[in-house]
A and B are shown apart, each in its own frame.
Chain A
Amino acid sequence: MQSVNYKTVDTLVLNTLRPPTLGWYILFGIILLCLAVGVSCWTYQILNGIGSSAKSNPVNWGVYITTFVFWVGIAHSGTLISAVLYLFRAKFRMPIYRIAEAMTVFAVITAGLFPIIHLGRPWTFYWLLPYPNQMALWPNFRSPLLWDVFAVTTYLTISSVFFYVGLLPDIATARDQAQSKFRKLLYSIASLGWRGDAEKWKHYASAYLLFAAFATPLVVSVHSVVSWDFAVSVIPGWHATIFPPYFVAGAIFSGVAMVLTLIIPLRAVYKLHPLIRAEHFDAMSKLTLVTSCIVGFAYVTEFYTAWWSKNPFERFQFWFRPTGDLALGFWIMFVCNVVLPQLLWIKKLRTHIGFLFVLSIFINIGMWFERYNIILQSLYRDYLPSAWGHYNFSWVELGILLGSFGWFGMWMMLFIKFFPSVAITEIKEILPVPKRHEDDSH
């Protein structure tokens, strides 16, 4: 960390908060356009009926639940990087955790939309909440969908609080350096009067540790609960005890990939090279490789279990996946999630930024298809062959899928412009303590 000192950290990070360039506006415009497509498609769907999506009788879930699980999965790695790695004192998390946490929060609010979009009568979504009412009518606590509601809302609450607590000192830094009146006011309110004295730091540290400890079990629980949507059912290919660990590993895998997808352009645009360095990419690549291997192992285990069970329905299902009507989806998943990441065994590629960017996009695609495989393939071919069915994508669904990226991207873009995307305080923690005459700004 020779070339970096406290001042350069401040300048580098706070540079990202400068008034947006034309490029930012163009990108933001595109993202808003995607969002507009999504919003119009959803409006159309509400007016026309949920039948505007391509789902049919045996295949009652499709793109929406796939996308829901995809975004929940993305949401995962944020907390893993910020909380779990914090508890493990893994230093490589410092420059990336802020962006990962932001991603988590925005991914959860994106994911949270999908169960509502997916409802036949979305205007009744609040019936899933256990609110007191004069009819003494409660939701069904046996339903995994209700567990989902709790899991996702809990996760959203904890991850946003944790995110906000971590942001506090940095918002204060931004406040101190803010030029415009608006920003000054915004940061003053948001920083809750942070002054940076020792007592505040003491409370901060213990609060942060506490929330990290709170958030850590959620890393395991959220996606386990989401996986129960499937594991608790009786459908061949869904009803499997491997689902919770498999889903958690998959979620971390996809989350790390998404962090890579976000951080590489950010680093290039705002020239954060001194802060986000090769060793960080190397560490993230290793994490990707490990989780890819776990996911790959889970895929193989599923096949093995199906064969070992001698259950004709399971066996057929797992034979159908790589060879049936939707085999393309299976092979996209397998190649993107298991085969391509194996290249990360090569050390040079682990730090090759261009390669990592392309790979991370492939992993994102692969992980979307993983859920597509689980949901669609199983529903295509379940128990009664006479009741088997089919599914074709509809433009409404694809529009809403696109819209979800617009929604997520909008929050990300705004966040980058309004809050420090790299944790200033924590980077400083790992810098060598400067001598007084060298740096007197602090």
Chain B
Amino acid sequence: MLFKINKKSASTRRDFLTSAALFSLAGCADNKLELIHPHFKDPEYAIPGNSVYYATLCTECQAGCGLLAETKEGRVIKVEGNPDHPINKGKTCALGQSLPQAHYDPNRVREPIEKTQLNDSKGNPVFSFNPLQLNDALSKFATKIKNASKILWISKELDSFSSLYVQEFCKKFNINFITYEFFNYEHVQKACKRVFDVDALPEYDLSSADIIVSFGAEFLEYWLNPVKFSRDWAFRRKNAQVFHCQIEPRQTLTGAKADLWLCIKPHTEIYFALALLKAIQKLKNSPLPVEILSYLNKLEIEDLISKTDIPSHFLHSLANKLVMASSPVVLGGGVQARGEHAETLEVACLLINYCLEAVGKTIDFSSGVKCSSDFASLDKALSEFDFSDPKAVLILSGNIEPWLPTRLSISEKAKQKQASIIGFFEILNTTAKLCDLILPVDNCLETFSAQVRGGLVTLGQPAMLRLYKSRHISEYLTAVQNALLNNQDSNVDVYNLFENYLRKSFNLNSQEIKKAQEVGFFPLAKSKIKPKLAIKSFSIGAAKDLDDAKLKLLPLGTVKAWDGRGENRGWLHELHDPISLVSWDCWIELHPKTAKKLRLKNKDYVKLYNSSGYIEGIVVINPLMKPGTVGVPLGITSGEESLSFAKIVKWANANKLFDLKESSLLASSFKIEKTTPRKQVYQTQVTTDEHGRDLIKVKVLKSDYSELKSEVKDEKHHHHGVNLYEQRKKPMFKWGLSVDLAICTGCSACVVACYAENNIPVVGPRIVAQGRRMSWITIHQYTKNLPDNSVRRVFVPLMCQQCGNAPCEPVCPVYATYHNEEGLNAMIYNRCVGTRYCANNCVYKVRRFNWFEYEFPDSLKLQLNPDVTKRGVGVMEKCNFCIQRINEVKFRAKKEGRLPRDGEIQTACQQSCPTGAIVFGNLLDESSLVSQTVKSERGWKLLDDMVNTQPAVTYLADLKFQT
């Protein structure tokens, strides 16, 4: 929130390290060594131990979430959502939470490096990477650009600030600039162009939607703007005001939250969408163009629906529901729907929305978000690029190589190359390793950035000094440009460049810039687009590849991996995928029938390969997917051996199995065979079945939420309040937590947040496989058969329940765990002798033991939270409701002579939760939010009726409409 840079003031030199960083950067040619060390001389305003927050931007995806980077003594220790930011309102996804590990990545490129080729004794080429002086690197870069016959630049999607300078540069030097992201929305944008003639991605408003139909769009995971969607969806979901239907071949996390989940044959979503369009058009008699109407008339609903394997009564009831709804919305396809008709599916969905009059209500095109990925150009440019031309230059920024199909693979083409490859990279990933010259770029926590989205410009700013000799891409380009064009203006400092950008693009004066940076964003005048139907006709070709006999490979997206940009972050690897429950390793998912056919069983270790790649992984039997399909997770790693974390599971690169074409992702024929199991194969749960214990509650509603209110609460707590020991008198606080399972999507942001906040070590696959994972909060999964004959996956975030009558407390022989006055089971780490009796006696098994002395490798140490002790070997640890945060607020309140306000204390898990499923507060304060939520009709305490543990955590039952 505080942007402490003031250019005019003389005291800034001594100011916070961040500002120091910016100043000492007198220009790109400056090679001055800057070291990060604890404050030798404290800046005047900085109180040691107090966090300083910087409003910044998350550049992991294009959603444009605002962040607050928390710094202590000049180090970034955590990122959290910016609570004032309209898009994410203080929330983040798992990937966003893992940003500090991207910043402190041990494999960051620390200085400009040059690759030289040598030959080993057998004549094979061996590469060595040699550091370069920044000046030398820049002059090499400049020479290459100057002499180039042809320059091609392939980039990831850049933020608005970088892209301004990059595009300017490209224009000046006649560079063919192509953007490509793997998880892109090119087909969505093309569909929008076709249907409404708008050049933007749609923005959906789920906070008012009362029915959502999604053709596999993972809007609660990573689709378009997941944090905002999650929040909006949860807002309606909490009170059961939205009916959600998900249609996809394999249940995603989003599908698991649906009221109606329809399992569709892969790549037949288009037929269902057409049938739905036709049915709705009939019901509403919507004015569609004549050609489309006649095309629809030619189609038979029964004929279409028979291709999808979904009983037709679902279609009709869905069509009726959509027509009856006051604000329905239909979302397009997800990763699994990326077949040959991906674009047509989006067209059909937009037409359905048009028929339902949702456009302008729940769908809006005025946010100004564009997808700049362009596969056709990428394909063309890469195919035409002449690697044998010594004067040709290829510039890369973005890890594209792991996704490219074999025919486009740069590493294949560059084997006997003459052309030079230059790269801008943060870490030495697969693509970076192809480059002859690598220029290190800043992580988003140490530089400026900007994103235009949702009527806002969100600004990123450095939260700390640069760790290494990296620069912002605009600094490199401006410096080279100045050198080549003999421009005397030596102003290549990123701060100036950023200021120029803001002045040029948004006409801000310095006062406004300062203010915007303090807040983290500023609004843009939004021009409301009223889209008109522009499409005249569309059709789909004959059905191809619907052969049932052939196994189909399904690409699966995961919250932990997304497109694989977190491949070198331990936190994300250590997360288990909430559906397959596999941590670290790769897996293949099979329906029980398919597994039987292939003679495979759960936890078999298999190799899956085709002509372009292979993976090895554990077999996961998943009944909630289409028989005849094989699911593989994308992006777990790129298999890069030079990355410390990615290399641990280098056989987990499923990306290469797929043949990337324009918006489609299909695999050629493949084979599966059993192989020798690796020791580290581990599913974190033995079973997802309840074994008849009725532990997890799911309320199935017939019509609406009021049914719950009339329900008599199950009063089985016959021993409630029975306690052997004397209770504390007149406590001030009793901390409590409630977790609403109806809106917990299993997104795992809380787990990563907990790792970051509480210095939880990443232990690696071998130790995870031994059942020694350290996460204090884990997403447990239960599969329940509901009375309406549906199967529901319920995700239960399980942390220490801070039992009022805790089984762990009396058994500790040394009082290392005890009950404090505020109802917490406190742990005294340095009193623990390690009998582990408490962990045995914990009925929730949430205590974690330090079996070894765990190390925080290399630069990752810098992320450790100084408020939380690092635990040594032989010591028990567990969740303590972020006691350091409780104390911080309590002391602050005491100093100010007041009580902590409700919501002032936020646990890390609660803070990150995109849906607000986790609520924390004082149970003794009748007016606190948590006191209200625990009284919910859906509330129950896990295992309390069986063991009388009297937990401080209340779970709210999952909700679902009967289908």
Contacts and interface: CB of A to CB of B under 8 A. Distances in A.
A396 to B, nearest CB: 12
A76 interface: no
A47 to B, nearest CB: 10
Interface string A372-387: 0000000100111111
B124 to A, nearest CB: 39
A384 B119 CA distance: 58
B839 interface: yes
Contact of B845 (A57, A61, A118): A57
Contacts, number: 172
Contacts of B686: 385, 388-390
A389 B692 CA distance: 18
Interface in B48-85: none
Contacts of A387: 685, 780, 798, 844-846
B771 interface: yes
A220 B512 CA distance: 83
B834 A386 contact: no
A217 interface: no
B844 A383 contact: yes
A386 B781 contact: yes
B687 A56 contact: no
A294 interface: no
Interface string B776-815: 0000111000000000000010100000000100111111
A295 B685 CA distance: 35
A316 interface: yes
A379 B835 CA distance: 15
A146 B816 CA distance: 13
B533 interface: no
A58 B845 contact: yes
A285 B810 CA distance: 42
Interface string B670-714: 000000000000000111111111010000000000000000000
B836 A60 contact: yes
Interface stretch (B446-454, B639-647, B848-856): B848-856
B839 A60 contact: yes
Contacts of B874: 49-50, 119-122
Nearest to B875: A120
B811 A56 contact: no
B599 to A, nearest CB: 23
Contacts of B376: none
Contacts of A390: 686, 771
Interface string A275-314: 0000000000000000000000000000000000001110
B840 A60 contact: yes
A127 B780 contact: no
A145 interface: yes
A312 B849 CA distance: 28
A387 B833 CA distance: 24
Interface stretch (A3-11, A28-36, A228-236, A418-426): A228-236
Interface in B821-867: 831-837, 839-841, 843-853
B688 A60 contact: no
A54 interface: yes
Nearest to B874: A120
B890 interface: no
A180 interface: no
Given A51-B772, A383-B844, A386-B782, A121 B946 contact: no
B845 A49 contact: no
A124 B807 CA distance: 23
A149 B849 contact: no
Interface residues of A, number: 51
A51 B852 contact: yes
Given A58-B771, A119-B835, A313 B814 contact: no
Point out which of A48, A57, A122 has the most chain B C-beta atoms below 10 A from its C-beta: A57
B767 interface: yes
Interface in A15-63: 48-51, 54-61
Nearest to A379: B840
A339 interface: no
A383 to B, nearest CB: 5
Nearest to B850: A120
A196 interface: no
B830 to A, nearest CB: 9
A59 B771 contact: yes
A115 B835 CA distance: 8
Interface residues of B, number: 56
Interface string B754-780: 000000000000010011110000001
Interface stretch (A95-103, A136-144, A251-259): A136-144
A313 B946 contact: yes
Given A57-B849, A140-B815, A386-B688, A145 B835 contact: yes
B947 interface: yes
B943 interface: yes
Contacts of B815: 137-140
A50 B836 CA distance: 11
B551 interface: no
Contacts of A144: 811, 837
A355 interface: no
Given A61-B836, A313-B946, A143 B810 contact: yes
Contacts of A127: 814, 831, 833
Contact of A382 (B692, B770, B843): B843
A233 B943 contact: no
Contacts of A128: 813-814, 833
A125 interface: yes
B836 A383 contact: no
Contacts of A124: 833
Contacts of A55: 836, 851
Point out which of B841, B845, B846 has the most chain A C-beta atoms below 10 A from its C-beta: B845
Interface string B597-626: 000000000000000000000000000000
Contacts of B2: none
A56 B770 contact: yes
Contacts of B813: 128, 139-140, 143, 145-146, 149
A233 B844 contact: no
B118 interface: no
A56 B772 contact: yes
B710 to A, nearest CB: 29
Contacts of A59: 771
Contacts of B689: 385
Nearest to B844: A384
A234 B947 contact: yes
A143 B687 CA distance: 32
Contacts of B876: 120
A312 B692 CA distance: 8
Given A54-B770, A143-B812, A49 B852 contact: yes
Nearest to A143: B813
A60 B811 CA distance: 14
Report the 6 A-B pairs with minimum CB-CB distance, sorted nearest first.
A120-B834, A120-B874, A51-B851, A56-B771, A387-B845, A121-B874
11 contacts: A51-B852, A54-B770, A61-B840, A121-B832, A124-B833, A139-B813, A140-B813, A233-B811, A234-B841, A311-B946, A383-B844
Given A121-B833, A127-B814, A127-B831, 20 more contacts: A56-B770, A57-B848, A61-B836, A118-B835, A120-B833, A120-B876, A125-B833, A137-B831, A138-B815, A139-B813, A144-B837, A145-B813, A312-B691, A379-B840, A383-B844, A385-B693, A386-B685, A386-B782, A387-B798, A388-B686
Interface of B: 685-693, 695, 767, 770-773, 780-782, 796, 798, 807, 810-815, 831-837, 839-841, 843-853, 873-876, 942-943, 946-947
